[in-house]
């Protein structure tokens, strides 16, 4: 059965085809929408400009709370960040998978016996090394 390994190789390569970003020329031809502007209908590149406040909404709700709460805070990026679907770029020309460029970690610590102080919600956004 020599066709089975060939079919497996084709299936593997077809799966890998989705791992490459779209051609840079195609992305360069798309309209660039800068936050906080709303994107048009159709395809586009979304830009988060460096130094501009980006609003982040923090919400807490659920049956254990007396009522829902919501707070908005602002953060600024150190570098421009261009986004297209699952792809990211800092210059709008070189694209990688977003999780290869930026790492995000969220840690929540609630008041407890070992931590009687206030709750802590800590969002860490790291630019990954080598990019």
User: What are the residue ranges spanned by the domains of the chain?
Assistant: 20-98
pLDDT score at 73: 94
| pLDDT in 10s for each residue of the chain, 131 residues | 444 444 444 544 444 445 788 999 999 999 999 999 999 999 999 999 999 999 999 999 999 999 999 999 999 999 999 999 999 999 999 999 999 999 999 999 999 999 999 999 999 999 996 65
- E-only strand ranges, 1-131: 32-34, 45-48, 54-60, 69-75, 81-84, 87-89, 96-97, 102-109, 120-127
Tokens standing for residue 100: 């290869």
Cα–Cα nearest to 57, from 123, 129, 125, 4 = 123
pLDDT score at 10: 54
Cα–Cα nearest to 89, from 60, 118, 48 = 48
pLDDT score at 51: 97
pLDDT score at 56: 93
């Amino acid at each position: 059965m020599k066709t089975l390994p060939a079919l497996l190789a084709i299936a593997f390569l077809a799966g890998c085809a989705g791992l490459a970003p779209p051609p840079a020329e195609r992305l360069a031809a798309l309209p660039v929408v800068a936050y906080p502007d709303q994107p048009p209908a159709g395809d586009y590149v979304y830009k988060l400009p460096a130094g501009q406040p980006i609003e982040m909404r923090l919400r807490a709700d659920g049956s254990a709370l007396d009522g829902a709460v919501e707070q908005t805070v602002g953060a600024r990026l150190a570098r421009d960040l261009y986004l297209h679907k699952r792809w990211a770029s800092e210059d709008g020309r070189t694209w990688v998978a977003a999780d290869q460029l930026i790492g995000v970690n969220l840690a929540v610590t609630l008041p407890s016996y070992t931590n009687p102080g206030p709750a802590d919600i800590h969002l860490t956004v790291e630019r990954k090394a080598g990019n």
